[in-house]
């Protein structure tokens, strides 16, 4: 008797062809960005100027992502046992090319929080060691330092970065002034999330290393937004969220650890890799949504179809398009530095006599513009984050709305 083998009649899962983006290259600048806008499914309810939390996925990447979900569901454990590690290493290698580091120095994580908390909690702290960071850094990273102070007895020194620094040296010296013989780690935001200010990370690293102090960089907003060159920055640790400006699916991030620092850090979760200098020792997270990791490749393809430099230029252009029109107006305060190299797509605007909360509510309820209010760490205003689908018409409308609000 022959056994029936149902799987032999299975057609299997057919993945679609790679998307050919090459025709786009020849389009004029205007038509190029019009086409990009068409790649996004946009809600008509409001103008979305709050892409900083999550840069949702353009349709070509989303379709690929859904295919990965189906494929992984089709292949099940077979994929997990045979292909997962290989695919993840390949993706990590592509990411390492994007941020310019060695492929063995980069691991895929779920987000910046995981990447940075791993370093903060896994650092070889001794009682009374000191850490320096800024009150403008992301709240939950500051909380992690506070938790580490409770658990391990470290001392946190918190500086304040001015919204309009005179020069790089002013910022570097703010960190330097807090250094003592006990200082072991400085955390720096590459781009401050509430104002969009880009900090002189390379200079801070040079200064810190001259005291033998490690630097952890919060690059949550940088990968896929600006040209991140980790070798050039010469930091020791770098974390980013890929669901932000790379427009990869939610729950994707990266961690860079300089080769010679890997053995210094202890993992949060214990895994099966025990070689001290292998970054995978730090990367055990158990079973997780691997289809999201696969779609990082599609997000990279999409980014390549634009070109990182072109995307960075576009995001800076969009920010300057609205902020230049408002910066010198009465009753308006732009909380983001003017120089091009100190910001890119993100900026923050405050209006005199209105709290940030009032401003964001007026913008949303009366004008249909979605932003986020920021009211702490010497920053009072709404964070404005267009994305590459944003067009000038929307920004003209935002500018007109702000002018109306300030003249009322
Ligand atoms: C500067 C900065 N760091 C870290 C994070 C945390 O990112 P995630 O929630 O993706 O881990 C954010 C999120 O907005 C951020 O803006």
- Per-residue DSSP letters for 110-145? S-HHHHHHHHHHHS---TT-EEEEETTS-HHHHHHH
Indicate if 330 and 296 belong to the same structural domain. Answer: no
- The minimum-distance atom of ligand 1 relative to the CA of 191 is 1
Q: What is the CATH number of the domain that holds 269?
A: 3.40.640.10
Provide the pLDDT confidence category of residue 11 given band limits of 50, 70 and 90.
low
State which H helix or E strand residue 96 sits in. helix 84-99
| Domain contains 7 | no
| Residue 349 pLDDT greater than 80, yes or no | yes
Q: What is the CATH number of the domain that holds 337?
A: 3.90.1150.10
| Domain contains 398 | yes
Indicate if 196 and 323 belong to the same structural domain. Answer: no
Give the number of C-alpha atoms closer than 13 A to the C-alpha of residue 407, restricted to the C-beta side.
8
Domain total of the chain:
2
Q: Are 199 and 133 in contact (CB under 8 A)?
A: no
DSSP summary character for residue 265: P
Q: How much is the pLDDT for 14? A: 67
Indicate if 180 and 327 belong to the same structural domain. Answer: no
Per-residue model confidence as pLDDT tens digits over 81-119: 999 999 999 999 999 999 999 999 999 999 999 999 999
Indicate if 291 and 332 belong to the same structural domain. Answer: no
Pocket test for ligand 1, best of 51, 139, 189, 193 (most atoms within 8 A of CB): 193
| Domain contains 29 | no
DSSP summary character for residue 191: B
When pLDDT is averaged across residues 273-292 and rounded to a whole number, the result is 97
Q: Say how many Å lie between the CA of residue 139 and the centre of ligand 1.
A: 9
Indicate if 290 and 360 belong to the same structural domain. Answer: no
Smallest CA separation from ligand 1 atom 12, residue:
220
| Domain contains 264 | yes
| Domain contains 12 | no
Indicate if 266 and 335 belong to the same structural domain. Answer: no
How confident is the prediction for the chain on average, in pLDDT?
Answer: 95
From 285, 301, 317, the end of a domain falls on: 301
- The minimum-distance atom of ligand 1 relative to the CA of 113 is 11
Indicate if 107 and 199 belong to the same structural domain. Answer: yes
| Residue 134 pLDDT greater than 60, yes or no | yes
**Cβ-count burial 317-332 (b if 16+ within 10 Å, e if not):** ebbbbbbebbeeeeeb
Indicate if 146 and 285 belong to the same structural domain. Answer: yes
- The minimum-distance atom of ligand 1 relative to the CA of 244 is 10
Whole-model pTM over 0.75: yes
Query: In Å, how far are 6, 8, 274, 308 from 1, measured between CA atoms?
Result: 15, 17, 50, 61
Residues in contact with ligand 1 (CB, 6 Å cut-off): 53, 111-113, 138, 189, 193, 218, 220-221, 241
Indicate if 327 and 289 belong to the same structural domain. Answer: no
Per-residue model confidence as pLDDT tens digits over 154-190: 999 999 999 999 999 999 999 999 999 999 999 999 9
| Domain contains 42 | no
| Domain contains 172 | yes
Indicate if 270 and 314 belong to the same structural domain. Answer: no
What distance in Å separates the CA atoms of residue 229 and residue 206, rounded to the nearest whole number? Answer: 15
From 274, 301, 328, the end of a domain falls on: 301
- The minimum-distance atom of ligand 1 relative to the CA of 53 is 14
Indicate if 90 and 190 belong to the same structural domain. Answer: yes
Indicate if 226 and 330 belong to the same structural domain. Answer: no
Residue 157: φ, ψ to 5°? -110, 125
Q: Say how many Å lie between the CA of residue 143 and the centre of ligand 1.
A: 13
Q: How much is the pLDDT for 23? A: 83
| Residue 3 pLDDT greater than 60, yes or no | no
Query: In Å, how far are 26, 88, 128, 186, 238 from 115, measured between CA atoms?
Result: 39, 16, 24, 15, 8
CB-based contacts of 346: which residues, under 8 Å, 6+ apart?
A: 52, 191, 193, 195, 196, 221, 319, 336, 383, 384, 385
From 254, 271, 301, the end of a domain falls on: 301
Read off the tokens for 280. Answer: 């995978």
| Domain contains 63 | no
Host domain of residue 393? 308-407
């Amino acid at each position: 008797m022959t056994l029936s083998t149902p799987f032999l009649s299975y057609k299997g899962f057919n993945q679609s062809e790679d998307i050919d983006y090459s025709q786009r290259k020849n389009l004029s600048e205007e038509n190029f960005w019009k086409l990009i806008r068409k790649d996004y499914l946009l809600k008509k309810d409001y103008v979305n100027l709050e892409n900083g939390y999550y840069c949702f996925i353009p349709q070509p990447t989303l379709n690929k992502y859904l295919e990965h979900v189906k494929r992984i569901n089709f292949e099940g454990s077979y994929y997990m046992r045979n292909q997962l590690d290989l695919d993840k290493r390949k993706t990590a290698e592509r990411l390492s090319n994007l941020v310019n580091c060695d492929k063995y120095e980069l691991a895929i994580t779920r987000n910046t929080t995981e990447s940075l908390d791993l370093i903060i909690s896994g650092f070889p702290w001794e009682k009374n060691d000191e850490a320096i960071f800024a009150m403008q850094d992301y709240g939950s990273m500051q909380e992690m330092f506070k938790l580490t102070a409770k658990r391990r007895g470290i001392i946190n020194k918190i500086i304040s970065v001015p919204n309009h620094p005179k020069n790089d040296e002013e910022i570097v010296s703010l960190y330097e002034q807090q250094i003592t013989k006990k200082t072991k780690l400085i955390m720096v935001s590459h781009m401050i999330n509430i104002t969009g200010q880009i900090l002189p990370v390379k200079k801070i690293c040079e200064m810190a290393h001259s005291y033998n102090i490690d630097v952890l960089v919060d690059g949550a907003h940088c990968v896929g937004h600006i040209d991140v060159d980790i070798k050039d920055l010469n930091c020791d640790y770098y974390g980013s969220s890929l669901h932000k400006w790379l427009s990869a699916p939610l729950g994707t991030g990266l961690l860079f650890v300089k080769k010679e620092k890997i053995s210094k850090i202890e993992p949060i979760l214990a895994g099966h890799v025990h070689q001290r200098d292998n970054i995978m020792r730090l990367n055990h997270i158990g079973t997780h949504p691997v289809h999201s990791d696969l779609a990082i490749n599609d997000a990279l393809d999409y980014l390549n179809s634009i070109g990182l430099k072109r995307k960075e230029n576009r995001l800076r252009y969009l920010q300057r398009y609205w902020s230049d029109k408002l910066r010198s107006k009465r009753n308006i305060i732009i909380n983001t530095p003017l120089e091009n190299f100190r910001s890119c797509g993100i900026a923050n605007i405050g209006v005199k006599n209105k709290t940030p909360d009032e401003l964001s509510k007026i913008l949303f309820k009366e004008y249909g513009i979605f932003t986020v209010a920021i009211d702490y760490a010497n920053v009072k205003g709404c964070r404005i984050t267009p994305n590459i689908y944003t067009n000038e018409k929307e920004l003209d409308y935002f500018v007109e709305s702000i002018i109306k609000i300030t003249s009322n």
